[in-house]
């Protein structure tokens, strides 16, 4: 039985031209080899499985080739290339820094650097996962990396560039590898499938490429897994089943249900998805991705953003033409909001079902143009409503005429009130005509909003009323403000005149707190005092100077300054002050 080799190793590139998805980078390396302008240290960084170590090996093979081809490619036939392919070359050394990351390992490497190559021009050291070296190992490596012998070239590879010390980065030429695009991955997988004699649907390979997340090695590993599962016939359904991926067919059906407003079918489809073991959060995330793809498919300019097979792209375009753009925006927002609320929801299934129900209702939105702008607002005719019988007897309205707009009730003040309000600014009640012709509930809501103007009562204040109003405000404070209520209970406002009270506080902090709450204080106390003109003034308490306490020696010193004879008297009488 022939020995089995996984596709990631069997189809590993042997020259720069066979490297997938890194055309600009490989061209730079080939030009450096052709011109002979080689640096002493390189750093290859990028995501996993994009060809960093592979390019390092091809580069090491090319610079030692006896008969390099035009363009910098290795010949693959000379003794150096043959030794490299058979893994017996003495000029190329690989070190896995993940398991050899101590200072002693680096010192051993530095000792090998001193030995010149026996054959070929260069001795190449490839250090993989270099970010795993300890700080001490990095420091031991610095001097050798900066000034190696002329025949030594270092190639460092890492997936986490940010963990490399700046002193290491400054000594290397840095090459950033890109993620594999979906198209590049699909083309390479199709090439491998044809070489191996397998059948593969482009949609299935596109799903494998999406699952690989830009890594060619991961894509080839999944490809081998699918070959073993399907026996060489790789279909979209088999890939979905084996990778536990929800088929896009569910989302196409779901959007059709949305457009037709079939809520029950949406709930049944969700139940089928959940019974297959899929998580509701992943289902909603997939719906958001599907709606995003529909939005991208509407415009030929954004169509290249859709990385999938031509057949699937055509299907997205077909469904996108049937979806109004405002509908797509609405469902996209609903799916995104549901995705955010799903993590904290106690009833997660209900959260998803509400999203589906609202999405079905989103199909009722009016259509808009392709630019996404809403159509011009059109004033609709007033709807005819059945007349509501008023509280007072009025003449009946003919059936052919529209119902009259209910006007707000305005009370006529009495004679004494007219004189009191003569000087006050008159405010007309706010009447909204926004919902004319709307439903009965909307008209009732408008009537509730219309209020009669409040009477501005002005009753003189006194100490008893002022104290009661002050403590009424303190009692209205929320339970969270216990400390603030205790502080306010220690304050006592006093009457300044019939409309003004004075509040004396002990420090600026308390005064600032009172000033910040002044709108709430005035609102509460004006209601309690029945005085719309009530005002509250604050002032700082006068700080009385405290008499300083002197010690006997300080008292004697002060007395001597005031009268020099005191000092002479103390000396003559030999007095002491303790």
Tell me which of 416 and 189 has the higher pLDDT: 189
154 confidence band (pLDDT: 50, 70, 90): very high
Mean pLDDT value of segment 211-224: 85
pLDDT tens digits for range 160-183: 888 888 888 888 899 999 888 888
Q: Where are the alpha helices (DSSP H) in 213-298?
A: 216-230, 236-243, 248-260, 263-275, 280-297
Q: How far is Cα 576 from Cα 70, in angstroms, rounded to an integer?
A: 111
330 confidence band (pLDDT: 50, 70, 90): very high
335 confidence band (pLDDT: 50, 70, 90): very high
Extract the tokens encoding 546. 């405290």
| Mode of pairing for the β-strands spanning 123-128 and 92-96 | parallel
Q: Is the pLDDT of residue 250 over 50?
A: yes
Smallest CA-to-CA distance from 376 within 386, 366, 361 is with 366
Q: Where are the alpha helices (DSSP H) in 276-392?
A: 280-297, 310-321, 325-342, 348-361
Distances (CA, A) of 84 to 20, 74, 251: 21, 11, 51
Q: How far is Cα 144 from Cα 154, in angstroms, rounded to an integer?
A: 10
Q: What is the pLDDT of residue 291?
A: 92
292 confidence band (pLDDT: 50, 70, 90): very high
Extract the tokens encoding 477. 């404070």
Range among 71-80, 258-267, 470-479 with highest mean pLDDT value:
258-267
Tell me which of 450 and 249 has the higher pLDDT: 249
Tell me which of 272 and 490 has the higher pLDDT: 272
CB distance 239 to 204 below 8 Å: yes
Q: Is the pLDDT of residue 65 over 70?
A: yes
CB distance 514 to 540 below 8 Å: no
493 confidence band (pLDDT: 50, 70, 90): confident
Q: How far is Cα 455 from Cα 393, in angstroms, rounded to an integer?
A: 29
Three-class SS of residue 105?
helix
pLDDT tens digits for range 104-152: 888 888 888 888 887 778 889 999 988 988 888 888 888 888 888 888 9
310 backbone dihedrals φ, ψ, rounded to 5°:
-65, -35
Model pTM above 0.75: no
Query: Among 155-159, 196-200, 211-215, which is the least confidently predicted range?
Result: 211-215
CB distance 16 to 69 below 8 Å: no
CB distance 117 to 151 below 8 Å: yes
Mean predicted lDDT score pLDDT of the chain:
79
Extract the tokens encoding 251. 């989302």
Q: Which residues pair with 42 in a beta bridge?
A: 155, 173
Give the DSSP letter of residue 278.
-
Residue 262 CA, chain-centre distance (Å), reads 33
pLDDT tens digits for range 303-323: 878 877 778 888 888 898 889
Tell me which of 155 and 424 has the higher pLDDT: 155
Smallest CA-to-CA distance from 218 within 55, 56, 50, 14 is with 50
| Mode of pairing for the β-strands spanning 500-505 and 535-540 | parallel
- Percent of the chain past pLDDT 70, that is, above it, reads 81
- Percent of the chain past pLDDT 90, that is, above it, reads 12
Smallest CA-to-CA distance from 50 within 173, 208, 175, 163 is with 175
Instruction: Say what the alpha-carbon torsion angle 48, 49, 53, 55 is, to the nearest 10 degrees.
Output: -120
């Amino acid at each position: 039985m022939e020995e089995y080799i996984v596709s990631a190793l069997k189809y590993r590139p042997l020259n720069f031209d066979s490297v997938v998805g890194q055309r600009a980078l490989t061209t730079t390396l080939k030009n450096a080899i052709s011109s002979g302008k080689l640096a002493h240290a390189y750093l290859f960084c990028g995501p996993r499985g994009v060809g960093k170590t592979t390019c390092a090996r091809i580069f090491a093979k090319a610079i030692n080739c006896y008969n390099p081809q035009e363009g910098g490619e290795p010949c693959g036939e000379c003794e150096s290339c043959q030794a490299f392919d058979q893994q017996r070359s003495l000029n190329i050394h690989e070190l896995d820094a993940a398991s050899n990351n101590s200072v002693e390992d680096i010192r051993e490497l530095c000792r090998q650097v001193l030995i010149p190559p026996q054959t070929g021009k260069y001795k190449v050291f490839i250090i993989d996962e270099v970010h795993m070296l300890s700080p001490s190992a990095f420091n031991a490596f610095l001097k050798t990396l900066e000034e190696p012998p002329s025949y030594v070239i270092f190639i460092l590879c890492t997936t986490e560039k940010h963990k490399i010390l700046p002193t290491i980065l400054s000594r290397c030429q840095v090459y950033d590898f890109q993620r594999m695009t979906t198209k590049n991955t699909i083309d390479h997988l199709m090439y491998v499938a044809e070489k191996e004699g397998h059948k593969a649907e482009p949609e299935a390979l596109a799903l494998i490429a999406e699952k690989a997340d830009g890594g060619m090695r991961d894509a080839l590993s999944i490809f081998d897994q699918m070959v073993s599962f399907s026996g060489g016939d790789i279909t979209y359904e088999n890939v979905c089943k084996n990778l536990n991926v929800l088929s896009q067919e569910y989302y196409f059906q779901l959007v059709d249900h949305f457009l037709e407003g079939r809520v029950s079918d949406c709930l049944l489809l969700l139940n089928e998805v959940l019974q297959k073991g899929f998580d509701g959060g992943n289902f909603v995330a997939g719906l958001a991705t599907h709606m995003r793809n529909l939005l991208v498919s509407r415009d030929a300019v954004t169509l290249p953003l859709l990385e999938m097979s031509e057949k699937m792209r055509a299907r997205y375009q077909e469904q996108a033409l049937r979806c109004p753009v405002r509908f797509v925006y609405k469902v996209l927002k609903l799916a995104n909001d549901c995705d955010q609320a799903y993590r904290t929801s106690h009833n997660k299934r209900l959260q998803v079902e509400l999203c589906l129900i609202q999405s079905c209702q989103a199909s009722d939105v009016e259509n808009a143009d392709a630019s996404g702008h809403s159509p011009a607002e059109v004033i609709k005719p007033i709807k005819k409503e059945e007349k509501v019988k008023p509280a007072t007897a009025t003449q009946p309205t003919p059936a052919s005429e529209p119902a009259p707009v209910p006007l707000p009730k305005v009370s006529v003040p009495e004679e004494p009130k007219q004189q009191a309000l003569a000087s006050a600014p008159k405010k007309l009640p706010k009447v909204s005509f926004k919902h004319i012709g709307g439903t009965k509930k909307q008209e009732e809501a408008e009537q509730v909003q219309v209020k009669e103007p409040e009477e501005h009562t002005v009753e003189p204040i006194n100490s008893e009323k002022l104290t009661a109003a002050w403590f009424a405000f303190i009692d209205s404070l929320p339970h969270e403000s216990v400390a603030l209520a205790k502080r306010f209970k220690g304050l006592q406002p006093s009457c300044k005149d019939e409309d003004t009270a004075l509040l004396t506080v002990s420090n600026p902090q308390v005064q600032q707190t009172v000033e910040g709450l002044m709108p709430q204080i005035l609102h509460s106390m004006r209601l309690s005092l029945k005085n719309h003109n009530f005002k509250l003034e604050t002032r700082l308490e006068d700080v009385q100077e405290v008499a300083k306490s002197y010690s006997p020696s300080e008292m004697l010193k002060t007395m001597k300054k005031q009268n020099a004879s005191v000092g002479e008297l103390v000396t003559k009488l030999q007095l002491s002050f303790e």
